[in-house]
Homo-oligomer: A and B are copies of this chain.
Amino acid sequence: MSAAITEPLAATGLDPAVREKLLKVGSANVANVLLKRGFRNVMMLGVAPLSADQPQLVGPAYTLRFIPAREDLDSMANYGRGDNKHRRAIEECPAGSVLVIDAGGSLAASSMGDMMAARLKYRGVSGVVTDGGYRDAAAIRGTGLPCYQVRNAPPATPIALHPVALDEPVGCAGVAVYPGDVIVGDSDGVVVIPWHLATEVADEALDAVEYEEFAARHIANGRSIFGLFPATPQSRAEYDEWVAAGRPEVES
């Protein structure tokens, strides 16, 4: 692999067909597909959806990196300046992208509040992920924007966090995120797909989801998971026939 991948990349648009597929798969399905390619560390551990019924999150990553605050630099006055990168992230994260915030795991101050979430929603940003937490969580839920965090962190951002850089490689909840990597979030949590693998991973994950639908019907009819899940060559052949036959009712 070329070393160029370690350099920040402009967030690229996500192929609508790939997005469509990723909207239908689970984060755990994606993680399984990546594991087959040797990627073992792709799920952000400890990061949970803000709302139980928020929509699936899919989009390329646009990153914001925080470091700890310092009292002279992170006054409320400085926070209001026009070049503050926290607010620049809100205005500059591309529509369709996911804002991924590296808060260094800090739960001592807010990674985002409801005004920012409302603005992101309006601008068409897909959602937000932080390894810290938010303030005004109830109002953020009200926006409908799918957001992920560790737990609520209501204190004002400048108390503990300084926004230092936009759209560069970061770590978030123990996972590397390069700009443009594809983020998928569901009720289980958030998975990161290296951007150059997004298309093939989407295909393979969707295939796994469809096979699981087949397996689920058999399980509902009383079949053992041995020889069925995980799939075997025989069960795959059986699945292919079933698909070819138009996915008929499974009989017990």
Known: A38-B71, A230-B79. A152 touches B6 (CB 8 A): no
By a CB distance below 8 angstroms, the chain B residues around A1 are: 72-73, 78
Q: How far, in angstroms, from A19 to B71 measured CA to CA in the complex?
A: 24
The answer to whether A107 touches B68, judged by C-beta atoms less than 8 angstroms apart, is: no
Q: Which of B69, B80, B191, B232 contacts A80 (CB 8 A)?
A: B232
Q: At the interface, yes or no: A180 with Cβ under 8 Å from chain B? A: no
The answer to whether B224 touches A119, judged by C-beta atoms less than 8 angstroms apart, is: yes
The answer to whether B91 touches A154, judged by C-beta atoms less than 8 angstroms apart, is: no
- Spot the interface stretch: A9-17, A42-50, A198-206, A242-250: A42-50
Q: Hey, what's the 0/1 contact readout for A213-231 against B, CB within 8 Å counting as 1? A: 0011001101011100110
- Residues of A at the B interface (CB closer than 8 Å) are 1, 3, 5-6, 26-28, 31-32, 35-36, 38-43, 45-46, 48, 66-73, 76, 78-83, 87, 90-91, 104-108, 110, 113-116, 118-119, 122, 135-139, 151-156, 159, 162, 164-165, 168-171, 174-177, 186-189, 191, 194, 212, 215-216, 219-220, 222, 224-226, 229-230, 232
